[in-house]
């Protein structure tokens, strides 16, 4: 799994008008190619009377799946510019659709490329780019005598905390960044003078800064 990657927070859309043609850009985070294709088909049904519904998506840790469609626009003037915007912004697991309602004025190849580029940029801004960081669950099992000290240290260092269970001992699910997990576990061992029982749980992505 990647230590971090850029994607979109949510589905979003925004419309721009260029020489009387309406361009509606849609952006959405997706987990699979099937989800991306389903979203494209959904928008084609919604905008069944549009002149074009052009799209592109990038899926996979290493951008293994990249597809684009001009949907009837001259080859290379719509899908490719949309795809290039996704790649230029370093986004993964996203799909972008730019719907066009023709306004009667021809834009030419250069104009179309600029228009679909702008439509993609607008869509991405509306869907809000974010960075996701990989965190690793470090489960800390300690006697109650250590809980207050750990709580203070975690607060001082802004350690992300998951669930905390209280029984005969305290079990705290800490969530440091995955690349820092080993160092974090060693710090806990030193802090508790080797009395903490430490185990490693699952990896999970969280939004940077939240």
pLDDT in tens, the chain (210 residues): 999 999 999 999 999 999 999 999 999 999 999 999 999 999 999 999 999 999 999 999 999 999 999 999 999 999 999 999 999 999 999 999 999 999 999 999 999 999 999 999 999 999 999 999 999 999 999 999 999 999 999 999 999 999 999 999 999 999 999 999 999 999 999 999 999 999 999 999 999 988
Interatomic CA distance for residues 78 and 114, integer angstroms: 9
The contacts of residue 148 (CB under 8 Å, 6+ apart) are none
Interatomic CA distance for residues 125 and 23, integer angstroms: 15
Interatomic CA distance for residues 89 and 179, integer angstroms: 24
> Do residues 59 and 93 lie in contact, with contact meaning Cβ atoms separated by under 8 Å?
yes
Q: Which residues of 163-179 are buried (b: 16+ CB within 10 A; e: fewer)?
A: eeeeeeebebbbbbbbe
SS3 at position 18: strand
Q: Which CATH number fits domain 132-207: 3.10.620.30, 3.30.70.240, 3.40.50.1370, 3.30.365.10?
A: 3.30.70.240
The confidence score (pLDDT) of residue 147 equals: 96
* Phi, psi of 48, rounded to the nearest 5 degrees: -60, -25
Burial class (CB within 10 angstroms; exposed 0-12, middle 13-18, buried 19+) of 72 = exposed
Q: Where are the domains of the chain?
A: 4-127, 132-207
Q: Which residues of 137-157 are buried (b: 16+ CB within 10 A; e: fewer)?
A: bbbbebeeebbeebeeebeee
The confidence score (pLDDT) of residue 143 equals: 96
The confidence score (pLDDT) of residue 204 equals: 96
Cross-strand pairs, 57: 67, 95
Where does residue 20 fall: left (phi above 0), alpha (psi -120 to 50 degrees), or beta otherwise?
left
Cross-strand pairs, 98: 25, 54
The confidence score (pLDDT) of residue 132 equals: 97
The confidence score (pLDDT) of residue 68 equals: 98
Alpha helices in the chain (DSSP H): 33-46, 79-88, 108-127, 144-156, 181-191
> Do residues 127 and 11 lie in contact, with contact meaning Cβ atoms separated by under 8 Å?
yes
CATH class (in words) of the domain with range 4-127:
alpha beta
pTM of the model: 0.90
């Amino acid at each position: 799994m990647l230590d971090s990657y850029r994607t979109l927070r949510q589905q979003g859309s925004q419309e721009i008008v260029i020489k009387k043609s309406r361009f509606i850009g849609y952006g959405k985070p997706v987990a699979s190619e099937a989800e991306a294709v389903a979203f494209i088909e959904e928008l084609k049904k919604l905008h069944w009377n549009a002149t074009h519904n052009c799209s592109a998506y990038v899926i996979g840790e290493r951008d293994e799946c990249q597809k684009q469609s001009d949907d009837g626009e001259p080859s290379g003037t719509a899908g490719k510019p949309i795809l290039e915007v996704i790649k230029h912004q370093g986004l993964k697991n996203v799909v972008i659709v730019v719907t066009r309602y023709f306004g009667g004025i021809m834009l030419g190849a250069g104009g179309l490329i600029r228009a679909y580029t702008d439509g993609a940029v607008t869509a991405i801004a509306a869907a809000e780019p974010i960075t996701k960081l990989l965190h690793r669950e470090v489960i800390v099992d300690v006697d109650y005598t250590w809980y207050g000290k750990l709580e203070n240290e975690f607060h001082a260092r802004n350690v992300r905390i998951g669930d905390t269970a209280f029984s005969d001992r305290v079990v705290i699910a800490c969530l440091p960044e995955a690349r820092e997990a080993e160092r974090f576990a060693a710090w806990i061992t030193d802090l508790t003078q080797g009395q903490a029982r430490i185990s490693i749980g699952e990896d999970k992505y969280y939004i940077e800064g939240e």
